[in-house]
Every structure is written in structure tokens, then in C-alpha cells.
Structure 1
């Protein structure tokens, strides 16, 4: 007997209710009631699973066409004590629907009251994820490194300026919408969180995946600092780790496993810099996180980023500099997404000519960034409607020297984006 999906109020946000699917579910199919009648979705293969549930494929056949959806099933044990997590994921998916080029499309949610499982229906992308893309052909990934990082940055600009922090940015959560031309979309907002100062800002445990986790997300670091708050710069650290992996095949602070998973954690219980660390689940595929290298970097003065893998992969110096900037230990020293887009390596990847004196613009208000022959930042003010399409244009307000400018809007919050 099919189970009825009942109404569940997740929050006070009426937008959530408007996305509820009218459906019934059994083991092999979902029957969805739409304005055009009943639609039957057949359950297919598992697409993956994690700590917060399983994702499986749904297929609908209509005449000679097939339609697909990816559905995330979140069981009772994952949400019974944390319904806010589902509320945050739904809020992120709904708010990001205005930007379908950057994020997976959201089709709705439903709740199985009998076994207390939530289902979130999303766009299915058959191209897989960025992790598989890297593993399949590292040379191809290296060649497209600029395109990959640019598209992730474009998505982060949207998220961060909407005050949303992803908190679990990693290659498996970057999906391939198209291989040629390469088109990526961000997914999995299960632990995303608003950075609105009105939202609760304290956290009690580490969030995210160890290989891509910024130091300030670790409980030991927060305990030493006496501050459990952090900002959207945790996503920028993760982006630096992704850029490293795209170019070398391995995230930073990681080492390959030869034959078996690393089990010698003899040094991990020691105290370094007043912090006591213990091993965590940090193995993926054929690599594992080198905890000692990670925390040695955290405690080094000056910072000594391990760039040997980048050197072996012949990474351009500006890419190495880009990654080091993103992965600075001090969160306030990392560039934000807008600044990263204006970095030397990123602009070179987009075909903008650079010279050796170019510096990342310090964006502190709405302004124009100008590029002349030396590619220097310009703080010249312009009317609000000028250059609104975001393209590079000749600056007609200055006769000499010849200058090209592009609008970069940056709206600093009245309060820090702390979560």
C-alpha cells in the first residue's frame, strides 16, 4: 500500500510550503499529482550516499522521451534532532533558483510521515561531478583549471552576496552540466548557512569535509581563539584546496595511500601551538589527509605552504600565489570571491593582459575597477547606470592614458558576515 505524504511545517517561511510536492511514495516509485494529472516517477539506481542521506535517480517516461530527477532521501536519524538543517537547505535551494547557470535546479520536496524521511527533488546532471572529472583526465582538468575556478567563483559571488555560506565546498559537490563547453553547477547545500547577523552565529563542532576544511572550522582552533564564529572565507579556503586538486590531482596536505589507509596517528595526539589534535575521518579514494602537515602549516611563522606538488605539476607562479592567498591561516587575510575574480591569475585565465605590478583590488565599496596598460585598479566614481552589463569598456572620461574599465559591485555588510 503506498504511503501518503503529509503536510509538514518546517519553518515559518511560506516559501517552503509553496514548493511541497503533492505525491505518494512506495518502494519503487513516486506518484506526483500535478496540474496536468498524475505523473509516475520510477526509482532507479543510487547516485551516491553520505552522512546526511542517499541520492537516487528518478525516471519518467512520456511517449518517446525520458525525464530524470535526482532525489535526496534524508532519513529520520539524520534530521530528527536538527530540522533546521533541512530548513536551511530548502531556503538555499529556493533562494538560488534565480541563478540556474550556477546552481542545480530545485523541483520541490516532500515528507514521508510513516518513516520520517524527507525527499528533496533536484535537477539530474548526467555528467557526474568535478572529482570524477579530475580523476578521469588530469591533463584535461589542468588545461581547464581557469574555467573551473572561474565558474565556481561566479557561484560563490552570488551565494556570499546573498549571505549564504556553503560550508562544504569540494569537488563532489561541483556537478558537471556539460563537458563541452564545460559548464559547472554547485550542489548539496545540506550544511549551508545564512551569514545574516540576526541568525544564530555559534557552532559547536567541526563542519565540512576534512580535506577542504579551513582551520577556524576545527573545534580546537575555535577553543584556542575563544571564538566559535567564522565567515564566508571558509569557502575561499576550500576553493584554494579545489584549485590545488584540479591542477595536481590531490588536495593540499594530502598524500597517496600505498596499499592501505594510513593508520599511524602517533603524532596526532600531541600538542602543537597550544592545540591538541586527534585524527578524524579524512580518507578519500587513494589519498588521505596528512594531519601533521596540515597543522604544521597552521602553526608555521611565516606561513610555509607545501607547494611541492604544484611545482611538480608545473603550476604557473600566479596560480601558486592565488592558492596561497586563498589558503592563508588568517581568515581576514583571504580575498573574498570578488577580489579572487580580479586576481592576476584569474584575469590572465580570462585573457586579460597583465604586468608584474598588478595587485588585487582592495574592494571596500561599490566602485569601478579600471585596467590600463599596467592593469592597475582604479577607484574612479561613475554613475549607477554606467557599465551595468559587467563587460570591459573603454573609459571615455579620461583622454589619456587609454584605460579600460569594468564594474565590480561590492556591497560590504553593515555588520560582519559572521556565522
Structure 2
């Protein structure tokens, strides 16, 4: 998608000082953060609605602004990365550049808290975001801020979503200083680093965040507050991840055994052992959630039985046939029948 430039042809390489109101009608705020804000605006020249990212000069250096704009514009050709127009300028107090507007909003507001999204919708989203990340990684670029707020939705049925916000994007292998705190998507190797400690940028960090994002979409919860051993939920996960216990952590019992194996790969504690983002493509035709996960009256024991029952499904085939259950049916239906039979016991 291309868009006519400002009448004065201002770009990041030819940054002119303009009065925002002379060229755009600001309609409303779309989002605010420590970086600045994003506003919905109508371009007076074309009548097109655009999203303007406004970065205050008080907290943004010119080279930081130019780097973010250039990465955004460079990555725009990918169909699942938000389109940035070749329009950048400065006002007296801010640096500004223009991007396409997503009418549905961002992914954060689309995830029902404590419930999660439908598995079908999650698969649509992760397929597209994985493609965007794989493209970035092929260009030796690391996003470094994967989270629902940075995934824009263009169609309500999730058939078109795009990755955005390249303010933290850096080249793979670069050594930078840790300046910000940790969030649930931050990998453990970064959580362990202290402020101002040197850290090496790696695509494995995006892989970890992608795995956490996947968990959030499917459950409506964070798996932990911080990937730090002091966090009880993370500690429980690490104990299971390292196979020091066969007991599935409480928050992970809703997933099928095969998909738990994927989580082991994408959320490996050791960065060098994590799988590539594209690994998720191998699992798109599998069931990710156990069929009994939505039972309102299920107990922890029920969930244990459901999880272990799916894990042993193949071994139970003969027993099930002896109980009049045909196992040579659709895999999903078979799993449902196995779960129902186990729960009846």
C-alpha cells in the first residue's frame, strides 16, 4: 500500500518541521505508552484515515526515531507486518510517522480474560505472526517486544492480523544494555540480567515471547508474572520442564500431551535449545486443548485424568474396543470419547 507524501515531501531522510494540524485532522487517541502515543488522523490531502505514531522529543533521540521508522518501513512489504508509509516529519515537540489504521483494534482486547480465545482463532493468529517473525529473523532482525498489544487486527474473524511496533527492534547479535524491567513475555536470560548489564540480542528471545503469547491467547491468563525462579508459577514450570517431576503444572493441564511437547521446545530454559518460530506450523492440524477443558464442574482430579487419558490414548485402544468404543474414528471425536469414558470411571 502506498500513500501520497506530504506536499512538502517530508521523510525520515529529509525530516521537515511541519504543523500537524495543517495536514491532518486528529480524530482520537488509539494508544498511549512510555514511548508516546498513537492517534487516528485523517489526511487532509487524501481523505485517508491513518495511524500517526507521535514520539516526544523529550524522551526520543532523533537516531532512535529514524531507526524505528526505517525498520518499520523496511519490513512493511510482508503481508503480516503493519504497513508504514514513507511519511515522517517533526513538530516543535515530537517526531511523527504514519502507518495504516487497523479498524478492529489490537489483540489484547480480543482475548477474553480467564477464558482465552477459540482454538481455531488462535491458530489463525499464530500462523500469521509466526510468518511475520520468521521474515524478520531471516533479515537478522529481532522484534524484542512480542505481546498482544503489538498485534493489530484488521478483520474481526482474525483472517488478517499484523505485527507492529518496532521501537525495540535490533539486529541479531548486537550487544545492548538492559534498560527496562521485565514483563511476563521476557525470557529468563533477560530477567536474570540486572539493569545496565550487557545483553546480546537473539531471535530466541522472540521465540520465548511467542510461546508466552500463545499461552495467553489460549487461556486468558499469564503463565507467570516473571520468568524468574522466585515466581512460584515459573518455578513449578521449570521443575516440570527439566523433567524433575512428571506432574503437569496446574496452569498447563488443559493442553494436549502433544502440544505440551511443543511448549517444552518453545519455552526451553536454555535459549540455544529453543525451536524456531516456524516450528508451530507442524502443529496446526493437531488439537491443542483437551476436550474437557470447558467443563464447569471439573475438578483437579478430573483434569489429571483428562490429561493422562489423552497421553495414553493409543495404549488404551484395545481396552476401549472391548467396551464397545470404536477407536477408528475422527481423532478429535476419539479423544472426546476417551475422555468421557475415563471420567465415567
Same fold (TM over 0.5): yes
Is this contact kept in 1: 2:12–2:88, CA < 8 A?
no
TM-score when scaled to structure 2? 0.70
Q: Does 1:189 align with 2:183?
A: no
Q: Give a deviation string over 1:97-131, Cα, whole Å, max 9, x none.
A: 221x211111134333522x111210100111111
Partner of 1:346: 284
Which has more helix, going by share of residues? 2
Q: What aligned pairs does 1:16-415 form with structure 2 within 5 A after superposition? A: 16-17=12-13, 24-26=18-20, 29-31=21-23, 41-60=24-43, 67-80=48-61, 83-99=62-78, 101-112=79-90, 114-115=92-93, 117-135=94-112, 138=115, 140-180=117-157, 182-195=159-172, 201-206=174-179, 210-218=183-191, 220=193, 228-254=199-225, 291-294=231-234, 297=237, 302=242, 307-311=249-253, 314-342=254-282, 345-348=283-286
Which has more strand, going by share of residues? 1
**Alpha-carbon spacing, 1:42–1:233, altered in 2? closer, same or farther (3 Å):** same
**Could you list the runs of 5+ residues in structure 2 that have no partner in the other structure?**
1-5, 289-310, 312-345
Aligned-pair CA distance for 1:44: 1.5
Aligned-pair CA distance for 1:318: 2.4
In structure 1, distance between residues paired with 2:116 and 2:90: 45
Aligned-pair CA distance for 1:207: 5.1
Partner of 1:34: none
**Alpha-carbon spacing, 1:203–1:121, altered in 2? closer, same or farther (3 Å):** same
**Alpha-carbon spacing, 1:30–1:299, altered in 2? closer, same or farther (3 Å):** farther
In structure 1, distance between residues paired with 2:202 and 2:108: 25
- Corresponding residue SS for 2:68: helix
**Alpha-carbon spacing, 1:86–1:247, altered in 2? closer, same or farther (3 Å):** same
Kindly tell me the number of residue pairs found equivalent between the two proteins: 281
Farther-moved stretch of structure 1 (206-215 vs 324-333): 206-215
**Alpha-carbon spacing, 1:49–1:93, altered in 2? closer, same or farther (3 Å):** same
Is this contact kept in 1: 2:121–2:158, CA < 8 A?
no
Q: Give a deviation string over 1:168-200, Cα, whole Å, max 9, x none.
A: 0000101101123521100011111122x5xxx
Aligned-pair CA distance for 1:5: 12
In structure 2, distance between residues paired with 1:230 and 1:209: 15
**Could you list the runs of 5+ residues in structure 1 that have no partner in the other structure?**
9-14, 32-40, 256-267, 278-290, 351-355, 357-419
- Corresponding residue SS for 2:38: strand
In structure 2, distance between residues paired with 1:301 and 1:322: 11
Q: Give a deviation string over 1:297-330, Cα, whole Å, max 9, x none.
A: 568882679742232xx32222222223211110
When the two chains are superposed, the root-mean-square deviation of aligned CA atoms in Å is 3.7
Partner of 1:260: none
In structure 1, distance between residues paired with 2:114 and 2:120: 10
Aligned-pair CA distance for 1:71: 0.8
Partner of 2:332: none
Is this contact kept in 2: 1:207–1:217, CA < 8 A?
no
TM-score when scaled to structure 1? 0.58
- Corresponding residue SS for 1:121: strand
Aligned-pair CA distance for 1:30: 4.0
In structure 2, distance between residues paired with 1:44 and 1:137: 33
Q: Give a deviation string over 1:178-237, Cα, whole Å, max 9, x none.
A: 123521100011111122x5xxx22221557611001122353799xx972241010010
